[in-house]
Amino acid sequence: MAMSSGDIADFPATFTPSQKGTPLLVDENNHKYRIHHKNIAGTIATYRCVLRNSKMCPATASLNLSTNRIVKYTYSHAHSSQLLKELARTEEKKLIAAAVAVGRFSTKTVCARIKMNIERGDNPEAATCVRKANALAVAINREKKKVLGVKGKEPSTVEDIKANLLERFKKTSTGGVFLR
């Protein structure tokens, strides 16, 4: 549910630690807020969106400290929810793993399929959170290395090549040794 300027709310406050351990307020849409200030009486704390600087997000939330409930939202978020990003990443990982398992694919095809699957799914707005093609290419190559067991260096001897080959590639279709 999108909140707009001055919306009154009454949601329980939940917190999650930041990377440095500072508690961040999390709203019902999984947006995160960092504390900005408390009023003089110490009853209300104002929190700002953690993406205020990087995404120019003006959203704030007011927390009643005695009841530990979010009582007011000011402004809307200028970015997509973390939930949408998580949905996009899950779909990306699933399709990248499937593409690597099949073997033959192009990065462009995988990118198109990811976007298409998300647009046809339950949350088509998550398609805006799909990573760019070059970032997906890096993720695909990383998954290839995991699955195929490539150590990241070029093999220098036949033994190195044989050691990195999967069993199904060590024999020909007639059962003979592939590399001699």
What does the pLDDT read at residue 3? 47
Instruction: State residue 36's pLDDT score.
Output: 94
Per-residue pLDDT at 64: 92
**Could you tell me the two tokens for 166?**
């999967």
Domain-by-domain residue ranges, the chain? 7-74, 82-148
Q: Note the CATH number of domain 7-74.
A: 2.20.25.240
Q: What is the pLDDT of residue 6?
A: 54
Residues in the chain: 180
pLDDT at residue 1, rounded to an integer: 41
Average pLDDT per run of 10 along the chain, which is 180 residues long? Answer: 56 89 88 92 92 86 91 81 78 85 77 84 78 86 75 67 69 73
